């Protein structure tokens, strides 16, 4: 297990809200559609949850299937990094928001997907701008 804030620091990525409250576990997930799972006991109340993966982990843990992300990225490091950051931010948003059992989308997936995509895109754009600036400085 590694703290999300520390992992983002190692990756050279900006912090995200509530990162200090999230720990990351890299482990395989058998469900072919899941690359990440947010562990929060409140999710267990909602049908269709993936909390079975969270047995043995405390609330606030995020499980990421890094090998599956590598396969999905076709082994392209930049794509892998984007997908990893997207999954980390998505699952951290689940921890932050928690469930809303009365909502049509009790897991708040739309909000979490949006947060993941926005974060990964922001980091991508920052890196692209920095590379562009470095290349222009060489000319």
CA distances from 102 to 42, 47, 115 (A): 13, 12, 21
Average pLDDT, the chain: 92
Q: Is 23 helix (H, G, I), strand (E, B) or coil?
A: strand
What is residue 138's predicted lDDT score, i.e. its pLDDT?
A: 60
Quote the CA–CA distance of 32 and 96 in Å, as a whole number: 25
Note the pLDDT tens digit of each residue in 13-69.
Answer: 999 989 999 999 999 999 999 999 999 999 988 888 899 999 999 999 999 999 999
What is residue 110's predicted lDDT score, i.e. its pLDDT?
A: 95
What is residue 58's predicted lDDT score, i.e. its pLDDT?
A: 94
Segment 98-108 mean pLDDT = 91
| 139, pLDDT greater than 60 | no
What is residue 133's predicted lDDT score, i.e. its pLDDT?
A: 75
Of these ranges, 39-48, 117-126, 128-137, the one predicted with the greatest mean pLDDT is 117-126
Answer yes or no: pTM beyond 0.75.
Answer: yes
């Amino acid at each position: 297990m590694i703290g999300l804030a520390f992992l983002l620091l190692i990756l050279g990525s900006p912090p995200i809200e509530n990162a200090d409250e999230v720990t990351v576990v890299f482990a395989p997930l058998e469900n072919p559609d899941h690359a990440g799972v947010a562990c929060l006991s409140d999710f267990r109340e909602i049908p269709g949850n993936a909390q079975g993966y969270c047995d043995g982990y405390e609330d606030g843990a995020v499980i990421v299937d890094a090998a599956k992300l590598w396969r999905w990225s076709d082994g392209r490091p930049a794509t892998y990094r984007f997908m990893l950051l997207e999954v980390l931010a998505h699952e951290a948003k689940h921890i932050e928001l928690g469930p809303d059992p009365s909502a049509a989308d009790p897991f708040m997936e739309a909000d979490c997907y949006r947060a993941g995509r926005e974060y990964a895109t922001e980091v991508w754009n920052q890196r692209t701008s920095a590379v562009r600036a470095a290349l222009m400085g060489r000319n």
